[in-house]
Amino acid sequence: MRKIALITGATSGIGKETAKRLAKDGFDLIVTGRRKERLGELKDEIIKDNLHTDVLTLSFDIRIYSEVEANLKGLSGKWKNVDVLINNAGLAVGLNPIHEGVREDWERMIDTNIKGLLYVTRLISPQMVERKSGHIINIASIAGKEVYPNGNVYCATKHAVDAISKGTRMDLINYGIKVTQICPGFAETEFSLVRFKGDKDRADKVYDGFVPLLAEDIADAIAYAVNAPDHVDIQDMLIMPKAQASATIFHKE
């Protein structure tokens, strides 16, 4: 029987590449995101390359519990038996010191990175508990390990993901459920474009002078954790570009 993976934030970047990778590894997929058209394009691409893969697309805003509940609580048939949950949806918005912070940016990050992750986990994990089997993967960040200037609230949300991951592992250990946290450093996705609110020139300069991670690199790490033997739980993985030593230290050419 083919396993099922549910991936949030699958319309771009890490989520999209993870969906494509897990399809190749024999998973059927539930892919979610706000951009319905992109989900459809991803489904078509996956099925074209992997004829035996089933893909269910669900378009909703992870920040709104009623939408999350309406889409996930009603899963039926084989789709209600999610084997792997990948909480990938997340973002950074703005890069302001605390005294110049934008409240709307704070709320968007908190609602997506913390509350959205909790909403999805709360709705999917009971079925894993019932079956005494499952794997939850939370995409965190180097920002959940360190704090850097002007990253105040974003770093706080990713530190929360770190704490939630540890707590979830403790809560679910008696049910045979694995919990993995994957923490990327600088990865060239839509991350900086979102952080700088569509300013492409500013976003592109973030990656000047060094080779950043690619979304495919993180998808490979997720696949490694997911495909590990049943007795092996990759609990915490920090992945950086070769040119990055910490959240703020780089070697640039």
Domains annotated for the chain, with CATH where assigned, are 4-183+214-238 (3.40.50.720)
Rounded CA-CA distance 161/35 in Å is 24
HSE (side-chain half, CA atoms, 13 Å) at 152:
14
- List Cα–Cα distances, 110 to 22, 34, 105, 157, 162, in angstroms: 28, 17, 9, 6, 14
Q: d(Cα 229, Cα 201) in Å, to the nearest integer?
A: 44
Q: Sort strands 55-59 and 28-33 into parallel, antiparallel or unpaired.
A: parallel
- Tally DSSP H helices, then E strands, for the chain: 9, 7
**pLDDT value for 189:** 85
Among the listed residues 233, 137, 152, 251, the one whose alpha carbon sits nearest the alpha carbon of residue 184: 137
Residue type, 94: G
Q: Do 146 and 193 contact (CB within 8 A), yes or no?
A: no
- Terminal Cα distance for the chain, rounded: 49
Q: What is the pLDDT at residue 249?
A: 95
Residue 149: Cβ within 10 Å count: 10
The phi, psi pair for 55, rounded to 5°, reads: -130, 125
Among 154, 175, 207, 224, the one annotated catalytic: 154
**What pLDDT is recorded for position 213?**
95
Residue-by-residue DSSP string for 208-246: TTS--B-HHHHHHHHHHHHTS-TT----EEEE--TTBSS
Whether 207 sits among the annotated catalytic residues: the reply is no
Residue 137: closest CA among 168, 170, 173, 174: 168
CA atoms within 13 A on the CB side of 198: 0
Ranges under pLDDT 50 in the chain: none
pLDDT of residue 197: 84
